[in-house]
Amino acid sequence: MVVIPTSGRLYGEYTDRGLESLNATLKDRLKGLKVDYRILMDRDGWVDIELDGVDTSVAAKLVGNLLGVRPKDRGDLDRCTAWVGRVEAITGEGIVIDMKLIKAIVASKTVSLQLEDSYEGAVARYGLYPNVPVEVAIYEMNSGDYYAACFSDNFLAKLHEWGVTGLNRILITGVTSSIVRRHLKKNYMERYIAYYERLGILEHHIVCKIASNPYRIAQALRSVLKGVDIYVVKPKPIGYLSLLHT
């Protein structure tokens, strides 16, 4: 038996629906494997997945890819090891990443350098807002309360791919995808959606078609989804990554 400490977290009004959604997703993803799973949630909403069975190692990789893995103890924190945490706060010093065991910070200068934009512009352009899952590489312990970190290569590649599509996105945190889709269908707005992208259990991107108005869609959702954060984000390709792919 193993327990996977994931970056998944349940919070807010839709916690119970999120738990149901996660259970259904795990049941589907682990179908055909000889493994039993159990969802564990602490009082702060952090989710661990307990696995037991012949196919535990395969299931662990699937769970890690689905939810992201956070460090279990400080012995895991090797130099430059990448872990998935969640944006806790946007401060003047940088983006604070919560991993339950520790907190890390991606300094504002690092954000600007890696994403080739002003600090504030990068946060808004890529939707790096509270509760969004983020993969970072930890490289040193600061003299303060945070580990120093930068965005991982995998995470930068993901942001780059968002920009390459040239499509606007609506970031939603705090609700399940099924509820979002139901409201879009009810308001006859599904025809403006290219596809949905899962970020976490209660975090999603709605990827809009070229001719759509993302602000109108976002406003329609805000009118019916209370206690949910909704942002329009407009990613762009990251220049040096574009050069690497040519």
Q: What is the pLDDT of residues 6-29, one digit of tens each?
A: 999 999 999 999 999 999 999 999
Q: What are the percentages of helix, strand and coil residues in the chain, rounded to 5?
A: 35, 30, 35
CATH level 2 (architecture), domain 161-233: 2-Layer Sandwich (3.30)
Contact indicator for 214, 168 with CB cutoff of 8 Å: yes
Q: How far apart are CA 172 and CA 139, in angstroms?
A: 30
The CA distance from 227 to 144, in Å, is 33
Instruction: Quote the pTM value.
Output: 0.93
Q: Cα angle vertex 204, ends 201, 208, to 5°?
A: 160
pLDDT for res 246: 47
The whole-angstrom separation of Cα 196 and Cα 176 is: 12
Whole-angstrom Cα distance, residue 222 to residue 230? 7
Of 67, 75, 77, the closest CA to residue 147 belongs to 77
Q: Which CATH architecture has domain 74-151?
A: Beta Barrel (2.40)
Assess whether pLDDT exceeds 70 at residue 242. no
- The predicted structure's pLDDT at residue 243: 60
Q: Tell whether the model's pLDDT for residue 244 goes beyond 70.
A: no
Query: CA–CA separation, 219 vs 201, rounded Å?
Result: 22
- What local confidence, expressed as pLDDT, does residue 245 receive? 52
What's the full length of the chain, in residues?
246
CA dihedral 9, 14, 18, 21 (to 10 degrees): -170
DSSP 184-211: HHHTT-GGGEEEEEE-SSSEEEEEEPTT
What is the per-residue pLDDT for 74?
84
pLDDT of residue 140: 80
Per-residue pLDDT of 22-57, as tens digits, reads: 999 999 999 999 999 999 999 999 999 999 999 999
- Angle at alpha carbon of residue 38, lines to 199 and 171, rounded to 5°: 15
Matching fold, domains 74-151 and 161-233: no
Domain locations along the chain: 2-67, 74-151, 161-233
Token pair 């494997």 is found at 33
Q: Say if residue 142's pLDDT is above 80.
A: no
* Residue 191: per-residue pLDDT: 95
Give the up-direction half-sphere exposure of residue 70: CA atoms within 13 A in the CB hemisphere. Answer: 23
Q: What is the C-alpha separation between 35 and 75, in angstroms, rounded?
A: 28
| pLDDT score of 143 more than 70 | no
